[in-house]
Amino acid sequence: MTVFSARILPFILILILAAASTGCSVLNFTTDMDVVTTSELDSVRVYQDGGLTSDGVNWIERGMDSVQLALANTEPYHLVRFERDGHLPDVVPVLPSRRNPLKWLDAGLTLAGIACIAAGIPGDQTGLIGGGFFTAFYNGLGLLFPPKKVYGKRLDGPNLTSLPVHAEGQPMVDMHTVDLAIDSGRYEWTYYEDFNAYLEGRDNYVSGDEDEVKLENSNLDAAPRELLIDQGFLPESRTLFDDIEQSELSCSIEHVMEHRAGGMLRYDVGMAWAIHNPYAMDTDTVRMTTSSTWSGFVIGEGLRRDLLNDCVSRGLVRVLQGKTDLQWEAEALRDVEAEWKTKWDTLSFHPDFGGKRRISETLDAVVTITSENGHGSGCILASEGWIVTNHHVVDDTTAQYDVHFADGSSLPADIVRWDPVVDVALLKVDTTGLSTLALRTVDNPIDISDAVYAVGTPYDQGLDATVTRGIISSRRGKGMLQRLQTDVPISPGNSGGALLDEDGRWIGVVNAKLVAFEVDGIGFAIPVEALPRALRLELD
């Protein structure tokens, strides 16, 4: 060994031992990625995934437009979300895309360690041999251990889909319901080995849930309704009796396919969209499948609300954009009431107008209506067995309803006609000689603060002919939606019963009570003067 070699050998040995403690590539913890949004859009907010909860991904906002993200190379994937007002959000899955550059350093140090061993063997230089061994061993392990791949340095943002904006002259749009109607075997999932297998369509296996998932009027309408408000299709604030020209859309979720790829999750959701018709008349129905954005996957979590919401919102956008055959604008202008009642003949009755009675003398003109699902109340309009009640009391037209009278007798009832918008129905029982209610004349309308009485069967059938007292608090709404507001105590079962003035004259059909925290004394009745149009009656 030369003198020069003998001098530098300790320094070489120290450097080798310093590098031998671990493989360098294993210490490549993060990659700084530049995220650049599309040049066609500005004010795009960029989010990075920050964990997964039962409500979905916990998104962390990182900035606007072009930002830099620190991506952990130890994670198998990252999700980057892009949002902009007036656009549908999008999520881009990011996977390690390039070989860990420090693997080359590990490889070089492994070879250097082997070279040190080879150089030290002839002279039996144990320090050189030992340093070379540990250098080769640890950096060789570094070649084997992750991260073998790391994330790229740049991500270009996607083009976001713009949302339609309500135009002047267009009708308003609301969501009536979003139902879950998933039959047995229609909730399925497909496993993929990794994201590339998903892109190439190489699934491992497909499975499904044999249980059906049925839920009418789910709370999945909140997200699409918020979209409608943001885009001007629905007023941000509404009152109970707003009368606006609008279409109501119904969505039924019929099929869910989960794509589970390398720890990530995406939904394909098959839906049926229709225009809600309050008179249950036929309307167009269109079926479509929409795909959600990507999210993280947790085993055993079941149906994901956030992904269902995403798919429903994307389906709603297609409807609003006119990309389906659902003619929601034309439907808003359709006179469905006239179509519903076109075959109705006008029924003529001759009630007692203006007759005064004690309240106790009216009790036998108010009845109890029962079915397997509960009970309500009713008002006798004509002695030949004609009875008025709420539509929601007899909304199942296939059910059997019985009318119970004050003398303890009962008879089966036929539902002759009904108006679900006004919430009234006309029943017929096969009898004569019934006591009827007297009506207050139209030229003498009830006034605000006038005393009134409610008669009906609250809570339990054994409480029939219960009388409660209050006042007229206000008149609300207009036209077919006009209501008498009252503070008369109203309970379940009162629906369809009579609202009477102080002289025992029939002024309204009790139909609703406002129930909410710290709300008391707000009930509503349908004015009797709404009955002729709602049920095609002639009262003279």
Domain spans of the chain? 1-162, 172-337, 347-539
Which of 14-18, 278-282, 316-320 shows the highest mean pLDDT? 316-320
Lowest mean pLDDT among 81-95, 108-122, 265-279: 108-122
- Cα separation, 11 vs 195, whole angstroms: 48
Res 22: pLDDT:
58
pLDDT reading at 267 higher than 60: yes
pLDDT reading at 369 higher than 60: yes
Query: For residue 338, what are the CA distances in angstroms to 42, 335, 528, 534?
Result: 50, 6, 20, 11
Res 102: pLDDT:
82
Res 51: pLDDT:
86
Confidence of residue 81 (pLDDT cuts 50, 70, 90): very high
pLDDT in tens, 116-135: 888 888 877 787 788 778 78
Higher pLDDT pick, 281 / 241 = 281
Confidence of residue 8 (pLDDT cuts 50, 70, 90): low
The answer to whether the Cα torsion of 124, 128, 130, 133 is positive or negative is negative
* Sequence-ordered list of residues with C-beta below 8 angstroms from that of 221, at least 6 positions apart, any chain: 175, 176, 177, 178, 251
Rounded to the nearest integer, the mean pLDDT of the chain is 88
User: Which residue from 20, 27, 26 is spatially nearest to 136, judged by alpha carbons?
Assistant: 20
pLDDT in tens, 277-293: 888 787 889 999 999 99
pLDDT in tens, 379-390: 999 999 999 999
Range 197-206 average pLDDT? 88
Helices then strands, counting H and E runs in the chain, come out as 9, 32
Higher pLDDT pick, 55 / 270 = 270
pLDDT in tens, 53-66: 877 899 999 999 88
Res 48: pLDDT:
95
pLDDT reading at 9 higher than 70: no
Computed on alpha carbons and rounded to an integer, the radius of gyration of the chain in Å comes to 37
Q: What is the dihedral of CA 33, 39, 43, 47, to 10 degrees?
A: -30
pLDDT reading at 211 higher than 60: yes
pLDDT in tens, 499-514: 999 999 999 999 987 6
Domain 347-539: which CATH class? mainly beta
Query: For residue 84, what are the CA distances in angstroms to 167, 213, 284, 310, 317?
Result: 20, 34, 33, 15, 16
The rounded Cα 210 to chain-centroid distance in angstroms is 24
Confidence of residue 353 (pLDDT cuts 50, 70, 90): confident
pLDDT reading at 248 higher than 80: yes
Which of 202-211, 309-318, 520-529 shows the highest mean pLDDT? 309-318
Burial 68-100 (b: 16+ CB within 10 A, else e): ebebebeeebbbbbbbbeeebbbbbbbbbeeeb
Kindly state the tokens that stand for 400: 């059997």
- Cα separation, 416 vs 512, whole angstroms: 22
Confidence of residue 174 (pLDDT cuts 50, 70, 90): very high
* CA distance from start to end of the chain: 129
pLDDT reading at 454 higher than 90: yes
Range 387-398 average pLDDT? 92
Res 3: pLDDT:
47
Strand, helix or coil for residue 199: helix
pLDDT reading at 433 higher than 90: yes
Confidence of residue 4 (pLDDT cuts 50, 70, 90): very low
Res 6: pLDDT:
53
Please tell me whether the overall predicted TM-score, pTM, comes out greater than 0.85 for this model: no
Res 175: pLDDT:
92
